[in-house]
Structures are given as C-alpha cells and as structure tokens.
Amino acid sequence: MNKRKFLLILMLSFGLVLGACSKDEPTNENPPVEENPNQEELDRLERERLIEERRVLEEERKVALGEFYVPLPDLDDPVEPYTVKAKALYMTSNVAGFNFDEEDIQYYANYILALSGQSGQPVDESRLDDVNKLEKILGIIEATEVNSVVIDVKNDLGLVAWQSDIEIVNTVGSNWNTPMKNFSVLMDYLKSKEIYTIARIVAFKDPYFAENNPDHSIQLSAGGVYKDKAGFAWVNPFDEYVWKYVVAISQEAALRGFDEIQYDYIRFPDNAKHYNEITTFPGRNGRDKDEAIEDFLIYAQEALKPYHVHVSADVFGVITHSWDDKPEDIGQTWRKITNNTEYISPMVYPSHYGRGYYGFDVPDQHPYEVIQIASREAIERNAAQKNPAIIRHWYQGFTATWVKGYIPYEEESIQKQIIAGVELGLDEYIIWNSGNTYYPLSFFYHDKVNPNLRQQGFDILGRSAEEALTRYLDAQRFKRTNHLYLLTPLDARAEDYDDFVLDYQAKGIQLMSYTIQSVNAQEDGSSIASVKVKYQTDTQEAVMEDAKFTIILENDVYKIVEAELNFTDKTN
C-alpha cells in the first residue's frame, strides 16, 4: 500500500477528512429554524449536524476500507477509556462461551472466602462439581483482588471467537467455530461487575489466514509458504494487508465492549537462524524485523484511537535481558514496543528460561528470584524512556512437567511470582493457564510481601550510587553502549538508541583507566563522586586526579552525569 492510501485510510477512520460535510450533492432540506431558537433547539440542530456528518464519513470509510470496514463507535459512547490496575486471569473463548449461573458464582466465591479464612464460615464443598470453569473464574474475581479477564478473540490458530460483521473475516471463514455465540451475555455481566476486559488478539501466528491467503504469508525463497517446526504457517508481519485484517478484528472487539486490545505473538517465528536464509518477506523494503513490529503498533494505535480502548503487547520474557532483538531476531526490541503501547506484558514464566539463566540450574525452581531479576531488567529499560508502557507481567499458572527438575505451580509458586513484582512496585499481572484452572488461594499473599525490600541509599534495581557509577565507567571502558544508554539521564542524550550510539562514536573518546576515590551523598538526594581517570582520543588525552561525576535518581534508577574533562594534546 502506498503512503498516500495509508494516510487516507487513517484520516477517514479518525473523522478528519476535509470537506466531509460540504458535499455538492443535494441533501434533504433542514426544517426551518426559529428566529431566536432556545438552547433545546440549538442542541437538536447540533445533534442532527453531527449525525449527518457521521453518516457521510461512514460512507466514505466504507469505500476506503472496503472488506476491512468496521463502523466507528456510536456518537453517544463515552470518550474516556475505562481502566484499572489489572489483576487478570486468562480465559479461552471456549470457556468464555459457557453458560453461567450467578448463584454458582456466588457459591464459589463464598467457598473461597471460607477456604481462606476470610469469612469465618465453614468450608462447603457440596456443590464444587457443579461449578464450571467460567463460574470458578468469575467466583475468584468476586472473592479476591482479581478484577480483570483476558479472553481470546482471535486465537493461536487464527480463529475468531464470534460471528463477525467484518467482510474479510467472513470471506476467509476464520469465524467458523464461534464458541462465543452469545458473547453479549458474558460482556453484560462483566460490565455490571466493573470487571476490566482485555481482548487477546494473536497477531502474526495465524495459520488459518496464512493457509487461505498464501500471498500474505512468509514465503519460501524456493517457492511456497514457510511453516515453523510445529508445521504452522505464519502471516507476514511486514504485510500491511495483514495489519488491516488484525486491526479490523481489534476494532470490532472494541465495539463489542472490550476495554483493551492485547496483541500476542506480536513477532516473527522463533528459530530465525534456521529460516532467515530460506525465506523472503514481501514488503520488507530493507527494514529490520523489529521495525515491522514497531510500525504495526504505530498503525494499530492510530487506527484504534476512535474506539476508546487501551493497547497492549505480549513479549517474550527474554527481551527484558536481550538488546536490539538479538540474538533472537524475532522482531521484539523492548524500547520499540514499550514506546508504542500503553501496557507491555513480558511472559516471565520461570519454566521458559534455559538451564543456567540468571545463574540457576533450573530457573523453574526459583519463581521469586526469576521474577525479581527479570522485573528489575524491565524497570531499568523503561526508566530509559520518556513515556514507556506500564509493565504488566504474565505469570506462570501451570506446572511445566516437561522441564527436568520442575516444581508444581500451585498457590505458593504463583504467590511468589506476584510478590516479587509487587515488592518492586509492579502491582498489575496476568496469570496464564491454558486449561483455565486456577488456584484461588494464590491471591491471599499480602501478609508475605516484604515492605522493606528496598534499603536506604539504593535505587529500585538494588544498586548503590557507587555500584551504578562503576557500571557506567565499565561501560565506557569496554564500549558497552547499551549500558551507557540506560545509565545516562534522558535529557543528556539522544532519545533514540541508534542516534545515541552515533553521537557517542562521533566523540571518539575512550576511557583507559579509572579509580573511584569517594562517593558523597548530597542534601538534594544526589551523590558526587571523585574519580581518578584517564581518557584519550586519537590526538588528545585527559588525565585527572579528581574528575567529578554526579549520580542522580531518575525514574527511581541511578543515572550518571558525566564529569567535565580537560583534554590536552598527547604531544605536550
């Protein structure tokens, strides 16, 4: 799609098309207006004008969007999106399609409160077998801090959960299963209880669409469609036709009451080292994979603005640790995603980290420690951005029996993950269990939270001012530009990392040696360090016995203000 058509579609979607209400075609004559109309009459006329303006706009959008057309929200929809600090459970569309009885929900809520000791009532197990999975999830919400649900609207197979009004969905036939035939019944209940609703929309792992639209799939260089090691075809994340399909489903989910659109599989397939050499991506135009994901999120954010929903993205847990989409090469770079969504959700499941990760032989055995380390990495990355997304982790709610040395993930292990996040200020979360089976006592953990985790003189990452300075100076010494980027105050460097690297390289300054002599806290909360340093360029050097570095707290993380250096010619 060329840029002109792309911009036209966005402008049409946002009601910004010039002349939308000044057509030359004849229109119905308005009734005569009173000479001195009262306010009621003025309001009526304004209402009629808005309705006519919307009618014209929608006709133009139908032409421009074609098979991807989704109407704009009703004019009377609230302008401000609804939000909470989400504590959520995942739910498949099949479970969301179950019938439910509010008496069974309340029974299960009472059962939980008795089981936890909160109600002081005896535990009644007489009806447990009569409560289905949907009712149990809603009962957990009724009885605990859980206040949100994540529901599959478009799942990992590419199937859409309901009868859709979108032409392209019906043409492709991706809603043939429709487990949520009566979705409005559940949505009405969730709204009545002020339960926050998140639509999980799997973006680019879409074997159904890929098989039915091979031209919009990842292509084999030798011909045909690429399939991953599990035998699934993927759509091409560079393809704007695919973008429009995914966004249209997102818009419909917003119209049907969801508060948030959550993109999962917002990436390319893994095992990139294998397929990079044998595949092509039409529409790539020289871009890196993480640029495709970034561009899609920008497009989706703009297209969803009129629908009053939040936008979030799920990411691999490992990208709290990796940098610049390497070595995975799947299109996920933290800063490119956190800057283009409202919520970012790393899947920090301990079972998904390999042997030796974070220093643990079996990370699955250390739910608290793994979440704490990964959370600090995520916080540090966010602290380097001006307007990052809110971190809302996915936590492991399943037992990974395939991991050698695994432990059961029931109440205690799930609690440890939540506690690790809460102690670092991350009080939003989602629990993943593909079978939709949850342990209600997981959410009675508050008396186990350590309120004194953070010690005076340390930042949220657990670093002292001197430790932060040491990390910064080591980064200069060994040219670790990603560490320098994270440790430099926002207003002292380029916002974009690539620009920062170019600026740093242009200076041509190399730290040869350093010795920290003292670090003294100041009344304003900063610290001043005296450091013996030796820097040099190709032609100059700076040898200083008392270079002054300032350590400040920015976004709860220590950052380093560079010392003023006095250079002289090496020949002097």
Over the stretch 508-518, which tens digit does the pLDDT of each residue have?
999 999 999 99
Domain for residue 113, yes or no?
A: yes
Which residues in 259-269 are b (16+ Cβ under 10 Å) and which e?
bbbbbbbbbbb
Domain for residue 563, yes or no?
A: yes
Domain for residue 32, yes or no?
A: no
**Residues 105 and 191 both lie in one domain:** yes
**Residues 469 and 443 both lie in one domain:** no
Containing structural domain, residue 503? 465-569
The phi and psi torsions of 132 (rounded to 5 degrees) equal -85, 175
pLDDT band at 21 (very low <50, low <70, confident <90, very high): very low
Cα–Cα distance measured from residue 391 to residue 298, given in angstroms and rounded to the nearest whole number: 19
In the predicted model, what is the mean pLDDT of residues 436-442? 98
pLDDT for the residue 34: 55
**Residues 309 and 432 both lie in one domain:** yes
pLDDT for the residue 24: 44
Residue partners of 59: CB distance under 8 A and separation at least 6: none
The phi and psi torsions of 429 (rounded to 5 degrees) equal -165, 165
Look at residues 382, 415, 448 and tell me which one is the last residue of a structural domain.
Answer: 448
User: How many folded domains does the chain comprise?
Assistant: 3
pLDDT tens per residue, range 116-159: 999 999 999 999 999 999 999 999 999 999 999 999 999 999 99
pLDDT for the residue 529: 98
**Residues 131 and 266 both lie in one domain:** yes
CATH code where residue 178 lies? 3.20.20.80
Cα–Cα distance measured from residue 123 to residue 349, given in angstroms and rounded to the nearest whole number: 32
**Residues 48 and 192 both lie in one domain:** no
Look at residues 34, 69, 104 and tell me which one is the last residue of a structural domain.
Answer: 69
**Residues 335 and 476 both lie in one domain:** no
CATH code where residue 528 lies? 3.10.450.100
**Residues 416 and 551 both lie in one domain:** no
Cα–Cα distance measured from residue 10 to residue 453, given in angstroms and rounded to the nearest whole number: 47
Cα–Cα distance measured from residue 374 to residue 315, given in angstroms and rounded to the nearest whole number: 13
**Residues 411 and 512 both lie in one domain:** no
The phi and psi torsions of 190 (rounded to 5 degrees) equal -60, -40
pLDDT band at 3 (very low <50, low <70, confident <90, very high): very low
Residue where the block lists tokens 């039409």: 282
Which residues in 531-558 are b (16+ Cβ under 10 Å) and which e?
bebebbeeebbbbbeebebbbbbbbebb
**Residues 62 and 127 both lie in one domain:** no
pLDDT tens per residue, range 361-402: 999 999 999 999 999 999 999 999 999 999 999 999 999 999
Closest CA to 505 of 532, 481, 475: 481
Burial class (CB in 10 A: 0-12, 13-18, 19+), 279: buried
Domain for residue 224, yes or no?
A: no
Domain for residue 273, yes or no?
A: yes
pLDDT for the residue 98: 97
Which residues in 490-505 are b (16+ Cβ under 10 Å) and which e?
eeebeeebeebeeebe
Domain for residue 61, yes or no?
A: yes
Mean pLDDT score across all residues of the chain? 93
Cα–Cα distance measured from residue 288 to residue 291, given in angstroms and rounded to the nearest whole number: 5
pLDDT tens per residue, range 92-104: 999 999 999 999 9
**Residues 479 and 412 both lie in one domain:** no
Query: Using an 8 Å Cβ cutoff, are 68 and 245 in contact?
Result: yes
pLDDT band at 468 (very low <50, low <70, confident <90, very high): very high
**Residues 7 and 134 both lie in one domain:** no
Domain for residue 344, yes or no?
A: yes
pLDDT tens per residue, range 517-539: 999 999 999 999 999 999 999 99
The total of other beta-carbon atoms located within 10 Å of residue 227's CB is 18
**Residues 172 and 289 both lie in one domain:** yes
Asked whether the predicted pLDDT for residue 200 surpasses 80, the reply is yes
Q: What is the pTM of this model?
A: 0.91
Asked whether the predicted pLDDT for residue 33 surpasses 60, the reply is no
Residue where the block lists tokens 């995914």: 246
Query: Using an 8 Å Cβ cutoff, are 517 and 499 in contact?
Result: no
Strand blocks (E) in 161-237: 196-202, 219-220
pLDDT tens per residue, range 212-233: 999 999 999 999 999 999 999 9
Query: Using an 8 Å Cβ cutoff, are 424 and 397 in contact?
Result: no
In the predicted model, what is the mean pLDDT of residues 548-571? 95
Domain for residue 231, yes or no?
A: no
Give the DSSP letter string of 103-164. HHHHHHHHHHHHHTTSS-PPP--TTGGG--HHHHHHHHHHHSS--EEEEEEE-TT--BSS--
